[in-house]
Structure 1
Amino acid sequence: MSDSPADDDAPEEARVDGRAARWAGHREARRLELVDAAVAAIVEHGPEVTTEQIAERAGVSRPGLYRHFDGRDDLQSAIAARSVERLVHELEPVWRPSGRPFDMLAKALRAHLRWLEANANVYRYLKRTSFGTGGESATTNVRETVAGHVAGMLVDGSLGAEIPPPVAHPLAFGLVGMVDSASAHWLDEPHGAGLDDLATQLTEACWAVIRATVGGAVDAV
């Protein structure tokens, strides 16, 4: 029996390819469901979450979970990729600049810190998990992605002045590295600082570095 009336008139090879594509789509959707369940398990149990806890959250057995992944490394990489995707999506409005450059910078930093505070266990998991096969941590991938966006904003003048790429890219990666290191430390040891306190401190520090790098060409207004 064919999958649909339209399949009856299609060549056999086309029908096979169509069924294969639908099956691949079903497997990919199921895999994504399991990854989202794994992220939820990390939120609940912390970065030391076990495969058994992930499987329980997903409502499958441990062998059933691994039918969709090529071992633990593949599962961890899929979790990392999904988490990076969510963070970048959370920050997506920041990449559409509007308003005063200083305020845009403050908005971006607050968005990052809010995500970090709400997803502390996921962030800690990313720090200890390799991304893909390169051996780099998933947080390295996050920094590179965000720094690339920031560099683009520096080059096109969104942050107050058009900065040449040879200057903008090192500056962007330096700023993102500083923010990532400071916010990761704050997450574990806040020393009494609230989110707004840190956001203000980081905004002023980043702005001072930008101004020191490019001189008076950058203005907050």
Structure 2
Amino acid sequence: MAAPSGRRDQTDGRKRRWQQHNADRRQAVIDAALTVLARDLEPGAELSVQLIADEASVHRTVLYRYFDDRTDLDVAIQQEICTRAGELLLAAVTLEGTPREIVERIVHAYVDWGAANVALMRFAERDIPGAATKPLDLAIGQIAEQIELVIGGFLAVLEADVEEDDRDALTPWVFLLVGGVMAAVRNWSSREELRPPAPQFTRLLADVTWLQIEGLAASRNIEVPDLPVEQLLNLKEA
């Protein structure tokens, strides 16, 4: 015989509250891990579960109630790092400003984040034994996809005649751009002293990235106007 609806609602309510409690505690542990990484550890140093438990004010054995194992914990930490960095970068990937300004804005956002979060960046880059996925790869894919959409939108505004082979190569080319910027920031942020200083390094990296874009466009006889994209849209509509 089925349970009365009132009792079933109470049971479902308790289940939801318990699930929310576990989710909240799991997030608290992840937040504690990021605090330990950013505050206490040198980039690349081993992240101790005991340090995380102490920061989260839970017993080490209690911590594992919210994670399947150490792999699940480490991947969850990587996912949180990538989510926070990704939100910052995706906010910079828009059609506002000139094409050159768009490139500078994206590079500036990543350089600033990388310089301020070296330990987090190093942890996100780790290969976690037993992990089925790598959050960093997924995050790079999301950012590259958004950049590809911006480039595709800009080409549409210009009504550029792009060959099919070039369109097919657009995705790997964008991954090359993103990967190159990330590798450069990784190398630069590994130095004991950040030389050149962040503003000059950002400018240099933005220049190099822009020259790749501008050079490829020129080789395809695509002229990139030095105008805000919004103005180009208005001209097209007119």
Tell me the TM-score normalised to structure 1 length. Answer: 0.86
Does 1:210 pair with 2:216? no
Q: Deviations over 1:63-120 (max 9, x none)?
A: 0111111110010011011111100112232133211110111011111111111111
Aligned ranges for residues 62-141 of structure 1 at < 5 Å? Answer: 62-130=60-128, 133-134=131-132, 136=134, 138-141=135-138
Separation of aligned partners in 1, 2:39 and 2:6? 50
Greater relative contact order, per chain length (Cα 8 Å cut-off, separation 6+): 2
Separation of aligned partners in 2, 1:166 and 1:132? 33
Q: Which amino acid aligns with 1:55?
A: A
Separation of aligned partners in 1, 2:34 and 2:188? 22
- Structure 1 residues 29 and 195, CA gap change in structure 2 (3 angstroms): same
Answer yes or no: is the 8 Å Cα contact 1:160–1:219 preserved in 2. Answer: no
**Corresponding residue number in structure 2 for 1:146:** 143
Answer yes or no: is the 8 Å Cα contact 2:148–2:174 preserved in 1. Answer: yes
Separation of aligned partners in 2, 1:64 and 1:159? 55
Gap runs ≥5 in structure 2? 228-238
Answer yes or no: is the 8 Å Cα contact 2:38–2:119 preserved in 1. Answer: yes
**Corresponding residue number in structure 2 for 1:197:** 200
**Corresponding residue number in structure 1 for 2:59:** 61
**Corresponding residue number in structure 1 for 2:154:** 157
Separation of aligned partners in 1, 2:112 and 2:175? 21
Q: Which amino acid aligns with 1:219?
A: P
Tell me the CA shift for residue 158 of structure 1.
7.8
Q: Deviations over 1:136-178 (max 9, x none)?
A: 4x43333222111111111111898566742431221110011
Gap runs ≥5 in structure 1? 1-8
Separation of aligned partners in 2, 1:19 and 1:205? 57
Does 1:15 pair with 2:10? yes
Correspondence for 1:219 among 212, 219, 225? 225
Answer yes or no: is the 8 Å Cα contact 2:94–2:150 preserved in 1. Answer: no
Answer yes or no: is the 8 Å Cα contact 2:79–2:136 preserved in 1. Answer: no
Q: Deviations over 1:22-42 (max 9, x none)?
A: 211121111111100111011
Tell me the TM-score normalised to structure 2 length. Answer: 0.80
Q: CA RMSD in A?
A: 2.4
Tell me the CA shift for residue 131 of structure 1.
9.5
Tell me the CA shift for residue 10 of structure 1.
3.7
**Corresponding residue number in structure 1 for 2:171:** 169
Q: Which amino acid aligns with 2:154?
A: G
Secondary structure of the residue that 1:109 maps to in structure 2?
helix
**Corresponding residue number in structure 2 for 1:3:** none
Correspondence for 1:182 among 181, 184, 187? 184
Q: Which amino acid aligns with 2:136?
A: T
- Structure 1 residues 85 and 200, CA gap change in structure 2 (3 angstroms): same
Tell me the CA shift for residue 191 of structure 1.
6.9
Q: Which amino acid aligns with 1:112?
A: Y
- Structure 1 residues 158 and 84, CA gap change in structure 2 (3 angstroms): farther
Secondary structure of the residue that 2:21 maps to in structure 1?
helix
Answer yes or no: is the 8 Å Cα contact 2:118–2:189 preserved in 1. Answer: yes
Separation of aligned partners in 1, 2:130 and 2:178? 22
